[in-house]
Structure 1
Amino acid sequence: MSHNARSASQSSTATLTTPPRSGGDNTAGTLLHRWILWFILATPAVAWTIGWFGNQTLQYAEHAVHPTGVIAGILVIVALFATPWRQLVRNRYGALWLARHRRHIGVASFGYALLHTWFYLLETESVPSILTDLYRFDMVTGWIALLLFLPVAMTSNTPSVHTLGQRWKSVQRLTYAASIIGFIHILSLNGWSNPWEALIVASPLLVLEAWRVRRFLSTR
């Protein structure tokens, strides 16, 4: 490979793997699109929260635990989907838009994880029951995933990118660990009896990550 071709290849790879500077583009159109995205992302959470304050029953909390957890899982999968999808299709088929907004989607995922945890605490009702649940594998994996997700969400903003420098990417990579443990949390619920929902939701990301690994190994 010639020097110019190698440089072009490296430039293309850097363009695909460097996080977009979504915080630096504050044109009116971009801000409008961002507010519309946040309106869509926040609407179910606001509806559930208003519903709780208007109802405040154990049954309401029980019914809200599962869907809030599912939305948290779907959103983090969509956020993680951005990089391999952009590598596969370059900037086509919505890949550039997804890459620009993956931080917002990831933060929304953490918000739904918090809402999921809140409804779980309301459903459980008592501190002794919560402490007893900590000995359950499916519960402890959920708490670990949430704690790993916390620094990722707290640093998913432009000031943190500038403050942390190269360390910012290391913090953000905790998303992978949190997602894997969260995936195990979902699989292990109800005694591992119904893993299909989690597998179906995660299957696009699993396929693309397998493609990334194969691509990486083939270039070594």
Structure 2
Amino acid sequence: MKPIPSSRLFLWFVLALPALALGGQWAFTPEAYGYGHAIADSGDWAAWLLMVTLAVTPVRLLFRKRRWAQWLMRHRRDLGVASFAYAAIHTGVYIWKKGALAWSGGELGQDFILAGWLAFALFVPLAVTSNDASMRALKRSWKTLHRLVYPAALLTFLHWIWSAFDPTTAWIHAGILAAIEGLKIWLQRR
């Protein structure tokens, strides 16, 4: 039996804590913590976990022998699925506020809405196939499919930049993501 801190169940408990806090704040203090906070916080967590997921490869390349880097590599799919879960919460809060999917036709003309929906659509097959059975079934195609994470990440950060009242924070995060990807490319070529 695995010790509690290294178990997958414990990891998912930790990954769920921000969602529980978000839901609790919204349920118990709806006047202070309303739609705007819920949509922003769920989107932030989706983006942060996406960045951590994409940072796993450069971390592994830099720190191959470290146990924590190996642990991150083993749990990269968990982090990616958690990122998708927060994106689903973000999307669900947005749909809840709008009342139904019917509204989407009129708003799809807005750049940030279109970028968000396209990013979410690309993340769905990634989340659905982030399991061992899909890896075995898809074989080499699995890795090709999961390269969709890069255009999905780009769309995610465009969505954030275009939708923010002050896009400075979004641009900073996009720069960090670009640095992560640049480091990964440099380490792989080295």
Bin for the TM-score computed over the shorter chain? 0.7 to 0.9
The unaligned stretches of length 5 or more in structure 2 are none
Correspondence for 2:168:
196
Indicate the residue corresponding to 1:138 in structure 2: 112
Counterpart for residue 60 of structure 2: 86
Higher alpha-carbon deviation: 124-133 or 178-187:
124-133
Question: Which residue matches 2:37?
Answer: 63
* Structure 1 counterpart of 2:170, one-letter code: A
The equivalent residue for 2:135 is 161
Once the two structures are TM-superposed, the CA of residue 47 in structure 1 deviates from its matched residue by 3.9
Which amino acid is the alignment partner of residue 180 of structure 1?
L
Change (3 A) 1:93 1:32: closer
Instruction: Write the letter of the residue equivalent to 1:210.
Output: G
Superposition TM-score, scaled by structure 1 size: 0.75
2:20 matched to 1:46?
yes
- Which among 179, 187, 200 is matched to residue 161 of structure 2? 187
Distance 1:189 1:90, change over 3 A: same
What number of residue pairs does the alignment pair up? 189
Asked which structure has the greater CA Rg, the reply is: 1
Q: Report the RMSD for the aligned CA atoms in angstroms.
A: 2.6
- Structure 1 distance, partners of 2:5, 2:184, is 32
| 1:98 correspondence with 2:64 | no
**Normalised TM-score (structure 2):** 0.86
Cα deviation for residue 97 of structure 1 reads 1.6
Say which of 68, 91, 94 aligns to 1:120.
94
Q: Which amino acid aligns with 2:116?
A: G
Shift of 1:50: 5.3
Query: Conserved in 2, the CA contact under 8 Å of 1:62 and 1:123?
Result: no
